[in-house]
A and B are shown apart, each in its own frame.
Chain A
Amino acid sequence: MSDLPELDIEPRVAAMLPPWTEIMQYIRKSPKRAPVEVLRAAAARGRPVVQPRCGVGGHGEMRTLLTTLEQRARPGILTITIDSFTRLKQFRTAAQALQRDPAGLNGYPLVTHGWRRGRELNELVDAPIEVRHGSPDPRELFAVSLASGFTSFEGGGIDYNLPYSKDVPLARSLAAWAQVDRLCGVLAEAGVVVDRELFGTLTAVLVPPSVSLAVCLLEARAASLAGVRCLSVAYPQGGEVHQDIAALRSIPVLARRYLPETVEIFPVLHEFMGVFPADPDVADALILYGGLTARLGGAAKVINKTNQESRGIPDADANVSGIRTTALACTDLLDFVRVDEATVEEETYWLQREVAELVEPVLAASDLPAAIADAFAGGRLDIPFSASVHARSEVIPKRDATGAIRYLSAGRLPFSRPTLRRNEQCLRVDRASLSRRLVDEIRSDIDFFLHAERRLRADRAAVETAGPGTAGPAGPGAAAPSPGGIR
Chain B
Amino acid sequence: MSSRKTQRTVIIGVARSDAHAVANHLIAMRLREAGFLVVNLGVCTPLEDFADALAAHPDAEAVVIGSLNGHAYEDLSDLPALRAAGRLHCPMIVGGNLSVGSHKDGDERERLLRLGVDHILDDADQIPLLLDLLQAARATPLTGV
Residues of chain A whose beta carbon lies under 8 Å from any beta carbon of chain B: 164, 166, 203, 205, 384-387, 389, 393, 396, 435-436, 438-439, 442-443, 446
Least Cβ–Cβ distance between B11 and chain A, in angstroms: 15
Q: Does B119 contact A (CB under 8 A)?
A: no
**CA–CA, A66 to B131, complex, Å?**
53
Find the B residue at minimum CB distance from A386.
B21
Q: Does B19 contact A (CB under 8 A)?
A: yes
Q: Does B33 contact A (CB under 8 A)?
A: yes
Residue contact B25 to A385, C-beta cutoff 8 Å: yes
Interface centre among A203, A393, A436, A438 (most CB of B within 10 A): A393
Residue contact A446 to B33, C-beta cutoff 8 Å: no
**CA–CA, A443 to B44, complex, Å?**
22
Residue contact B29 to A387, C-beta cutoff 8 Å: no
Residue contact B25 to A393, C-beta cutoff 8 Å: yes
**CA–CA, A443 to B43, complex, Å?**
19
Q: Which label, helix, strand, loop or mixed, suits the secondary structure of the B interface?
A: helix
**CA–CA, A164 to B43, complex, Å?**
10
**CA–CA, A205 to B25, complex, Å?**
12
Residue contact B21 to A443, C-beta cutoff 8 Å: no
Contacts of B19 in A (CB 8 A): 164, 166, 387
Least Cβ–Cβ distance between A330 and chain B, in angstroms: 31
Residue contact A438 to B33, C-beta cutoff 8 Å: yes
Residue contact A166 to B42, C-beta cutoff 8 Å: yes
Q: CB-CB contacts of B27-65 with A at 8 A, as 1s and 0s? A: 101100100000000111000000000000000000000
Given contacts A384-B25, A387-B19, contact A438 B44 (CB under 8 A): no
Interface centre among A166, A203, A386 (most CB of B within 10 A): A166
Interface contact tally, CB-CB below 8 A: 36
Residues of chain B whose beta carbon lies under 8 Å from any beta carbon of chain A: 19, 21-22, 25-27, 29-30, 33, 42-44, 125
Q: Which of B27, B29, B42 contacts A396 (CB 8 A)?
A: B29
Residue contact B42 to A387, C-beta cutoff 8 Å: yes
Residue contact B33 to A443, C-beta cutoff 8 Å: no
Contacts of B33 in A (CB 8 A): 435-436, 438-439
Least Cβ–Cβ distance between B123 and chain A, in angstroms: 12
Q: A389-B42, A442-B29 are in contact. List 10 more A-B contacts (CB 8 A).
A: A164-B19, A166-B43, A385-B22, A385-B25, A386-B21, A387-B43, A387-B44, A438-B30, A438-B33, A442-B26
**CA–CA, A435 to B25, complex, Å?**
15
**CA–CA, A203 to B25, complex, Å?**
12
Residue contact A387 to B26, C-beta cutoff 8 Å: no
Find the B residue at minimum CB distance from A275.
B22
Residue contact B43 to A205, C-beta cutoff 8 Å: no
Residue contact A439 to B22, C-beta cutoff 8 Å: no
Contacts of B25 in A (CB 8 A): 384-385, 393
Least Cβ–Cβ distance between B127 and chain A, in angstroms: 11
Show 20 A/B contacts (Cβ-Cβ < 8 Å), sorted by A: A164-B19, A166-B43, A166-B44, A203-B21, A205-B22, A384-B25, A385-B21, A385-B25, A386-B21, A387-B19, A387-B43, A389-B42, A396-B29, A436-B33, A438-B29, A439-B27, A439-B29, A439-B33, A443-B26, A446-B22
**CA–CA, A312 to B55, complex, Å?**
40
